[in-house]
């Protein structure tokens, strides 16, 4: 298990990598002033997460979900039973949730808080019907919508390639200096900025919806390899 810690003004973002059989990345947001914590997409090891937060002297009050998939939600109910934490999820994701606990819902451009730390909601459907990203000051937690030089598949219920294309266009508007944090460490490295991804991530570089559909469909059919490093517009055109 690898760990990264980003200490910012007012909050700390901590990430645990390679958790569980699908090697999830688990994100913790610690609000300094209120000593409260939000965990994003908890899966596989509820006791580890609860103990880690307790050991730091914080209280786990919130669970923020980026999407409904089992490998990002299977520890939710156990954490809620142990802590009473409140669940937040995108409004369009509710029909797909496979948890017992009732969530609160958010929609595009809403702002939520853990303690005094705000996070803006960005609706990014495609990988799932109601997927969302959490935009903090200097960091974006994207779940499986966007990976380092890649993106999530659209093959499970609620997935839609056309919607993923439009979500990518929305993510292009995020400031270049914002650091991207993903639900899995599938790329060539962990740390990256949105600016770097705009320059080398094929899912962000393709501006034409038809080309995007062709690219993703060809990848799913095995005609194009899944990218794990930066590509250029010339390389994308050659693949298409």
- pLDDT exceeds cutoff 90 at 1: no
**Distance between CA 98 and CA 87 in Å, rounded?**
13
- For the record, the structure tokens of 73 come out as 């939600």
Span 2-239 CATH architecture: 4-Layer Sandwich (3.60)
Is residue 136 a contact partner of residue 29, using CB atoms and an 8 Å limit?
yes
What percent of the chain stands above pLDDT 90? Answer: 88
CA torsion 143-145-148-150 (nearest 10°) is: 150
Q: Please state, as a whole number, how many other Cβ atoms lie within 10 Å of the Cβ of residue 209.
A: 13
The domain segmentation of the chain, as residue ranges, is: 2-239
Q: pLDDT tens for residues 65-120?
A: 999 999 999 999 999 999 999 999 999 999 999 999 999 999 999 999 999 999 99
Q: Which residue has the higher pLDDT, 10 or 187?
A: 10
Report the SS3 class of residue 150: strand
Predicted pLDDT of residue 131:
98
Predicted pLDDT of residue 61:
98
Q: pLDDT tens for residues 145-166?
A: 999 999 999 999 999 999 999 9
Instruction: Give the least confident one: 59-63, 69-73, 188-192.
Output: 188-192
Predicted pLDDT of residue 189:
84
- pLDDT exceeds cutoff 90 at 18: no
Q: Please state, as a whole number, how many other Cβ atoms lie within 10 Å of the Cβ of residue 168.
A: 23
Alpha helices by DSSP H, 10-160: 46-55, 76-83
Predicted pLDDT of residue 188:
77
- pLDDT exceeds cutoff 90 at 3: yes
- pLDDT exceeds cutoff 90 at 187: no
Q: What is the DSSP letter of 91?
A: G
Predicted pLDDT of residue 21:
87
Average pLDDT in the 216-237 region?
90
Q: In which order are the strands placed within the sheet that holds 117-123?
A: 111-114, 117-123, 132-135, 139-141, 179-181
Q: In which order are the strands placed within the sheet that holds 36-40?
A: 2-7, 11-19, 24-31, 36-40, 59-64, 86-90, 104-106
Average pLDDT in the 232-237 region?
90
What is the pLDDT confidence band of residue 58, given thresholds at 50, 70 and 90? very high
Predicted pLDDT of residue 240:
83
- pLDDT exceeds cutoff 90 at 49: yes
What is the pLDDT confidence band of residue 38, given thresholds at 50, 70 and 90? very high
Is residue 146 a contact partner of residue 172, using CB atoms and an 8 Å limit?
no
Q: Which residue has the higher pLDDT, 185 or 202?
A: 202
Q: pLDDT tens for residues 105-122?
A: 999 999 999 999 999 999
76-83 vs 46-55: helix crossing angle, rounded to 10: 40
Average pLDDT in the 27-31 region?
98
Q: What is the pTM of this model?
A: 0.96
């Amino acid at each position: 298990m690898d760990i990264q810690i980003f200490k910012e003004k007012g909050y700390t973002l901590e990430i645990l990598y390679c958790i569980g059989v699908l090697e999830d990345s688990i994100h913790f947001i610690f609000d300094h002033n209120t000593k409260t914590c939000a965990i994003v997409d908890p899966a596989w090891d509820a006791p580890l997460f609860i103990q880690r937060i307790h050991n730091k002297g914080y209280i786990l009050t919130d669970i923020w979900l980026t999407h409904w998939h089992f490998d990002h939600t299977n520890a939710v109910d156990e954490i809620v039973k142990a802590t009473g934490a409140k669940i937040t999820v995108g409004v369009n994701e509710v029909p797909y949730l496979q948890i017992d606990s009732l969530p609160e819902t958010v929609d595009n451009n809403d702002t939520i808080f853990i303690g005094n730390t705000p996070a803006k909601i960005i609706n990014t459907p495609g990988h799932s019907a109601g997927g969302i990203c959490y935009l903090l000051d200097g960091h974006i937690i994207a779940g499986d919508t966007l990976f380092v030089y890649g993106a999530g598949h659209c093959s499970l219920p609620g997935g839609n390639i056309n919607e993923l294309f439009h979500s990518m266009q929305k993510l292009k508007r995020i400031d270049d200096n914002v650091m991207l944090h993903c639900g899995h460490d599938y790329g060539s490295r962990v740390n990256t900025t949105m600016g770097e991804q705009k320059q080398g991530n094929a899912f962000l570089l393709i501006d034409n919806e038809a080309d995007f559909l062709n690219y993703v469909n060809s990848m799913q059919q095995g005609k194009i390899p899944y990218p794990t490093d930066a590509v250029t517009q010339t390389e994308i055109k050659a693949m298409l």
